[in-house]
Structure 1
């Protein structure tokens, strides 16, 4: 894909565990119709565990050899992603103020989580009970192309990510970019970089992207090649994968 393959290295991570993840875990297996999250999605903070995961991610970044260290970091503007990026980068010597090889952190709204529209905050049971016609439309169209009213489909994510990665080509040609984002964005980036089909990406999506996991592609001379995906080796203790958001 143009833009992506102009990079020397692309590393993606999901934000650390959030209080929203804990709320979703609490309603799993119950008859709750709502997640119980009171904040706006963009304002959901990290949990204490999420902050620890972000620090562990930072220690992994700090241990990278010079030729693999990011030259630019870009985060979703949501609180949980920006905080993950800041905590992680604070663990690295190359992000210290005045460092000659310092890494800039900026935000880009195209990396935000998928907009759920009228389904925001609803459990699958809540969706079926409150919006049965939409639940039927989801079954008919499939997850990849279904767009909830006021929200986005997975295909919509691909459109805004193509734009984001094209702009990266101009901003950081040959660079090593760290992207701190959300699980759906990690999955759809893999879809774009590896030229996957609808069926292939939905099979991959069945394995949840872990909080503060590490996914990396490096340029092999002609294109980006997968090095690791959803790697959690840097996390010292096992933690739940975390549901939405």
Structure 2
């Protein structure tokens, strides 16, 4: 993908485990129609385990060789992503707040999670019961192109991410970038960077992107090459995160 080929490293991580993740896990396999999340999506916080995952991610960042350390950190504006980024950077010496040259977290709303519109907070069962017409549209169109009322399709994510990465190339040529974001953004970045097809990416999306996992690309001098996807090896001390 030409719009990020000028970067030296592109690292993406999903936020640590959130209370929203726990809410969906609690109703999985039940007849609940809603996950029971009281906050708006942007305000869902990290769980205690999510904060531990963010700290562990920070220790991984601190251990990187100097030539791999991020020169730019950009996060979704949502609370769970911002806190993940701030906790992680707080574990590194090269992001000390008192250092004028230290890293700071930039926010970009194009990195926010996929908006679900009227389906926000519903379980799959809840969608089928409350919006049977939308469930039928989803089956007809497929996940990639389906846009819920008031929400976004996966292709909508691609549009805003193309814009984000074009700006990133202009702002950080040759940079080593860490993006702290959401699972759908990680998946669609892979779609863009690796020039994948709808079939490719929907098959990849079947495997959940784990909390605080790492997905990385490195420049070979002309384009970005995949290093790892959904890697949780840095989290081994605290156990694998939940999807």
TM-score norm. by structure 1 comes to: 0.97
For structure 2, which runs of at least 5 residues remain unmatched after alignment?
none
Once the two structures are superposed, what CA deviation does each residue of 1:183-233 show, in whole Å capped at 9, x if it has no partner? Answer: 000000000000000000011101100000011100001100001111111
Q: Which residue of 2 aligns with 1:30?
A: 30
Q: Which residue of 1 aligns with 2:137?
A: 137
Q: Secondary structure at the match of 1:152?
A: coil
Q: Secondary structure at the match of 2:58?
A: helix
Q: Once superposed, what is the RMSD of the aligned Cα atoms?
A: 1.0
Q: Secondary structure at the match of 1:234?
A: helix
1:225 pairs with 2:225: yes
Q: Which residue of 1 aligns with 2:67?
A: 67
1:102, CA displacement in angstroms? Answer: 1.8
**Conservation of the 8 A alpha-carbon contact between 1:183 and 1:209:** yes
The equivalences for 1:193-208 within 5 A come to 193-208=193-208
**Conservation of the 8 A alpha-carbon contact between 1:14 and 1:186:** yes
**Conservation of the 8 A alpha-carbon contact between 1:9 and 1:219:** yes
1:168 pairs with 2:171: no
**Conservation of the 8 A alpha-carbon contact between 2:72 and 2:177:** yes
**Conservation of the 8 A alpha-carbon contact between 2:232 and 2:240:** no
Q: Which residue of 2 aligns with 1:11?
A: 11
Q: Which residue of 2 aligns with 1:237?
A: 238
For structure 1, which runs of at least 5 residues remain unmatched after alignment?
none
1:48 pairs with 2:48: yes
**Conservation of the 8 A alpha-carbon contact between 2:212 and 2:241:** no
Q: Which residue of 1 aligns with 2:209?
A: 209
**Conservation of the 8 A alpha-carbon contact between 1:71 and 1:103:** yes
Write the distance in 2 (CA, Å) between the matches of 1:203 and 1:101. Answer: 42
Once the two structures are superposed, what CA deviation does each residue of 1:85-139 show, in whole Å capped at 9, x if it has no partner? Answer: 0000000110012447522211000000000000000100000000001100000
Write the distance in 2 (CA, Å) between the matches of 1:106 and 1:222. Answer: 27
Number of residue pairs the alignment of both structures matches: 242
**Conservation of the 8 A alpha-carbon contact between 1:208 and 1:241:** no
Q: Which residue of 1 aligns with 2:85?
A: 85
Once the two structures are superposed, what CA deviation does each residue of 1:49-89 show, in whole Å capped at 9, x if it has no partner? Answer: 00000000000001000010000000000000000000000
1:238, CA displacement in angstroms? Answer: 2.0
Write the distance in 2 (CA, Å) between the matches of 1:119 and 1:2. Answer: 35
TM-score norm. by structure 2 comes to: 0.98
